[in-house]
Amino acid sequence: MNSIKFPLKDIQFVLLDMDGTLLDKYFDDYFWEHLVPEKYAEKHNITFGKAKDELMKLYRIHEGTLNWTDLDFWSKELDLDIPALKEQIRHLIEVHPHVEDFLKMLKRNKKKIFLVTNAHYKAVDLKLKKTRIGKYFDSVLSSFDAGSPKESLEFWREAEKRLGFDKEKTLLIDDSEEILTTAKEYGIKHVLYKAKASSNTIPKPSKDFLSVFDFNELMDES
């Protein structure tokens, strides 16, 4: 695997997305596209296919809003205990390869590491307990704390205020091109696209952003 050359010496702050970037998105895809439709179908005595169609339409309405990752919202909306269902399949929560090596490398180089996520705090708690990578972060900021999703400029204004990073000396890694576009517009100088979000899908590099498939590409400390 070739190393991606990025100016580590010029970067003091590293902002990292969680789902799809550090963690395998297979867990979330399986949860929302298979387990939730299955339970919804059982509850309403309809076929899995019909349940999935209904839910996909509903998901699309709320995508890109705070509701999208709000577990309490979906519990009420679907009349299902969403946090309890996530607990049932917590064994599927996995860290992407070489993530921990990358985090250790950042620590060795005395970088400030922040987790910035749209995930609900209940999901963050569950995943950090399962993966034990929370110890590497100087701080964790969710869109619920910031009051806006990462797709909006308001999130990044609030993030800068709360986390105190310098935009010129900051690297953001995310698996959403929309979020990277917003962050770049806000002025974050260094951005990388995590092309392999899920172990179950074929990764596609971005046309607009430098893409990383595996964190071992970022391990050259020279």
Q: Looking at the structure, do residues 33 and 79 belong to the same domain, yes or no? A: yes
Domain boundary among 91, 111, 134: 91
Condensed to tens digits (0 to 9), the pLDDT of residues 88-143 reads: 999 999 999 999 999 999 999 999 999 999 999 999 999 999 999 999 999 999 99
Q: Indicate if the pLDDT at residue 66 is higher than 90.
A: yes
- Does residue 1 sit within a domain? no
> In the chain, how many H helices and how many E strands?
10, 6
Q: Looking at the structure, do residues 79 and 154 belong to the same domain, yes or no? A: no
Are 165 and 13 in contact by the 8 Å Cβ rule? The answer is yes
Q: Looking at the structure, do residues 46 and 75 belong to the same domain, yes or no? A: yes
- Does residue 171 sit within a domain? yes
Buried b (16+ CB within 10 A) or exposed e, 189-222: bbbbbbbbbbeeeeeeebeebebbbbbbbbeeee
**Mean pLDDT score across all residues of the chain:** 95
Range of the domain at 64: 27-91
Question: Torsion-angle region of residue 161: left (phi > 0), alpha (psi -120 to 50) or beta?
Answer: alpha
Q: Looking at the structure, do residues 72 and 182 belong to the same domain, yes or no? A: no
| Res. 221 pLDDT band, cuts 50 70 90 | low
Q: Looking at the structure, do residues 99 and 186 belong to the same domain, yes or no? A: yes
176 vs 181: CA distance, rounded Å:
9
Residue 190 in 3-state DSSP? strand
- Does residue 80 sit within a domain? yes
Domain boundary among 67, 91, 115: 91
Q: Indicate if the pLDDT at residue 3 is higher than 80.
A: no
Lowest mean pLDDT among 25-29, 134-138, 195-199, 218-222: 218-222
Domain boundary among 41, 75, 91: 91
DSSP 34: I
Q: Under 8 Å CB-to-CB from 152, ≥6 apart: which residues?
A: 182
- Does residue 3 sit within a domain? no
Q: Looking at the structure, do residues 193 and 120 belong to the same domain, yes or no? A: yes
| Res. 176 pLDDT band, cuts 50 70 90 | very high
Active-site positions read 10
Residue type, 176: S
- Does residue 2 sit within a domain? no
Q: Looking at the structure, do residues 85 and 185 belong to the same domain, yes or no? A: no
Condensed to tens digits (0 to 9), the pLDDT of residues 152-171 reads: 999 999 999 999 999 999 99
- Number of structural domains found in the chain: 2
